[in-house]
A = this chain, B = another copy of it.
């Protein structure tokens, strides 16, 4: 069964709105950051990673965001262009804001952390009047990243973009991507996440992210089914709840649920798993595949990313993902 249908007459496959930032990945791994001395620079930010992933998978992709007027900002926009992403709605900040940074620390494959620089960042300065209605009007699938709701005026830009996307008939995806910094309180977060989720067709998040959204509600057993059901009363067709190592479950409007097959991987770090999964899954849906096939493809894409040093740079092509699945099926890849 097809749960979402895409407006195929539109010319852009995928548009994301939100954060564009820089990852600074420690080159020396398996040690605390106090003991690292060099870092490599990559484009980062969850929606940027997903957009790069979609473009690598062959989707015609564009981005709505804001960059700092500095070397980091110019590096980001250059990288997006080199990856065939349309940046005509990537605006340059003129208030002296900086580019968000994420220094990554990989103490072990399962103990990774991030040191964030999110004060006065350009991406949260995107204004509602800077969002191009015309771009959203020609987009099949529109993705909102929750961190873009963290602060004004980016918060208003997202709500205005949602208004355009709803009105223009795009399939709307909400990647919860909740990061506590920047937000003033969990209550503030819950209110705006709920307001945004009401308008979305596909919602993806971890169990913990959905818990945060249920701050004012009753779901004492943290039931995934209760969580998903709420959104089917609004606009949702698919709700995916991620349980880390235990895998993800997709709930659909018709009361069904699906679990994805998982693949082995030689894990270097966990960063980027969610973004590559999202890109793979959404790509599958756009190909008209079943939920299960799309989830499987997402899982394999995630395995490729967590087996390498970067996030954005490691986003695979469709051929690479198919190849990875085949090699897993042949027993050529085993867990580390």
Q: Please give the residue numbers on chain A whose beta carbons come within 8 Å of chain B beta carbons, in ascending order.
A: 24, 27, 32-34, 36-41, 70-72, 74-75, 78, 96, 98, 101, 103, 105, 115, 117, 119-120, 127-129, 133, 152-153, 156, 159-160, 163, 181, 184-185, 187-188, 190-192, 194-195, 216
Contacts and interface: CB of A to CB of B under 8 A. Distances in A.
A128 B37 CA distance: 33
Contacts of A129: 187, 216
A194 B41 CA distance: 41
Contact of A40 (B38, B133, B192): B38
Nearest to A133: B216
Oligomeric state, in number of copies? 4
Nearest to A160: B191
Contacts of A38: 27, 38-41
Given A24-B24, A33-B71, A33-B72, 20 more contacts: A33-B75, A34-B71, A34-B74, A34-B75, A36-B41, A37-B40, A38-B40, A38-B41, A39-B39, A96-B181, A98-B119, A119-B120, A127-B187, A128-B188, A128-B191, A129-B187, A152-B184, A153-B187, A163-B194, A195-B195
CB-CB nearest 4 A-B residue pairs: A33-B71, A119-B119, A156-B191, A119-B120
A78 B37 CA distance: 13
A26 to B, nearest CB: 9
A119 B127 CA distance: 21
